[in-house]
Amino acid sequence: MDALNLINGQWRASSGRWLAVTNPATDEQLGRVTLSPAADVDQAVLAGQRAFEEWRRIPVTERVQCLFRFKQLLEEHFEEIARTVTQECGKTLVESRGELRRGIENVETACGMPLMMQGYNNEDIARGVDEHLFRQPLGVVAAITPFNFPAMIPLWFLPYAIASGNCFILKPSEQVPLTAVRLFELLAQTGLPAGVAQLVHGDKQTVDALLEHPGVQAISFVGSSTVAKSIYGRAAAQGKRAQCQGGAKNPVVILPDADLEMTTKIVADSAFGCAGQRCLATSVVITVGSEQERFASAICDAAASRRVGNGLESDIDMGPVISSESKRRIERLLEAGRNEGAVARAHGNGRKPSADGCGSFVAPTVLDHVAPGGTLARTEIFGPVLSLLRAASIDEAIHLINSGVHGNMACLFTSSGAAARRFRNECVVGNIGINVGVAAPMSFYPFSGWKESFFGDLHAQGRHAVEFYTQTKVVVERWHSTWSRKF
């Protein structure tokens, strides 16, 4: 299957540059994706600008009808889309279903746009003077999304952007373009006018064109911290709004009063789910006090028993990482950690080698005695690797968390309400979990992130999305009574 661009309602490719799309579990080529030059981006932006003049004037109650139809189509094709996610991304089918469900929830939330984008007003702020605030769309906006959630993350942005009256361009990861193609094929069936939602595939050349185009008013991005910071700076220099989600190094703190069995299961799912390739994956566990060795032994057993293989198979717990290049990068980081004194306590059985050695599989790994200031403790590995650290007290654990450069998520496992309250108050991160391993906000809350995990002011999802995709206009008006006597 060839992944084409959708520009002004037409599926096409014009560059002559293509990239293979590969199943990371089998190394099978699933298709090709077109890589778009700046000219394709320009055509999409111009089409969006033309469509915007009419789309912004369509009543919001009518705009959301396309989202109601889109939601229904996503439900009807739910299993097909989930299977596509698994084939090109590698995660298990259960994980793909969960991802798509979270994406659909954002479509549902954006259907409430008639209420969400309401302004406010005051009568008689001065004698005979009224003041109003209206929210109006920006124009053409774009999102650049990563490989790890090819269905969910585009739906963090698209529904809110178009429901609030903007025209939207998606540049998905070139590693996982097929899910985006299917989403836009279904979106086209909703009656959405040409140019309102467009799909432009590509690589860095395409991203640069979106950042530099004067017709793009806002940029949304999810990826590594280094790239997020660069895109945020470049977008700001061009006068664009930007929300750039970066990397993470998510810690979990386990106090002695935590339920060990429950905690182990939840942490294992967080660390090794989606092969560790999610921005809310647990990557560091800080044990406090007497349960350190018991937890280390329990999590090692959980890692060793994880069943790894093709995510389409029903008895599999974890799929591959996205590519052979990613696998090699993870292996280099593990070697760097061992050189700094880390000890592999568990290196899961992984996938039984096939005759041809296909697939980018990395076994679930637990590393003990990780240096707090070392490479593994600082670097986002983005793979099924869990590092164990030890702290003498909750004070030391919170200090370790706050001394890091990332601030995406931190979780605490405890039965103490006082400890939980202190943890959520003092940890300098944007998402907090108490006795949960993945503190993923619901669609009507912002996907928060602090420090080098986020560059911008307004996050994805919910009210933050509405504020990001609209600008406020304040009207102060006075009507003299003498004027009304003329009519």
Active site residues: 279
- DSSP assignment of 104-148, as one string? HHHHHHHTTHHHHT--EEEEEEETTEEEEEEEEE-SEEEEE--SS
C-alpha–C-alpha distance, residues 194 and 12, integer Å: 14
Task: Output phi, psi for 43, to 5 deg.
Answer: -65, -40
C-alpha–C-alpha distance, residues 107 and 466, integer Å: 13
Which residue is listed with tokens 């406090």?
288
Q: What is the DSSP letter of 58?
A: S
Asked if 134 contacts 81 with a C-beta cutoff of 8 angstroms, the reply is no
Asked if 469 contacts 456 with a C-beta cutoff of 8 angstroms, the reply is no
Look at residue 459 and give its three-state secondary structure.
coil
Asked if 364 contacts 306 with a C-beta cutoff of 8 angstroms, the reply is yes
Distances (CA, A) of 428 to 199, 363, 399, 411, 449: 36, 31, 10, 12, 10
Distances (CA, A) of 31 to 1, 134, 266, 359: 4, 46, 36, 17
Asked if 250 contacts 451 with a C-beta cutoff of 8 angstroms, the reply is no
Tokens for 27, please give them. Answer: 């190394």
Asked if 322 contacts 370 with a C-beta cutoff of 8 angstroms, the reply is no
C-alpha–C-alpha distance, residues 163 and 312, integer Å: 34
Look at residue 197 and give its three-state secondary structure.
strand
**Rg (alpha carbons) of the chain, rounded to whole number:** 24
Tokens for 371, please give them. Answer: 């240096």
> Who's near 420: CB < 8 A, 6+ residues apart?
412, 414, 434
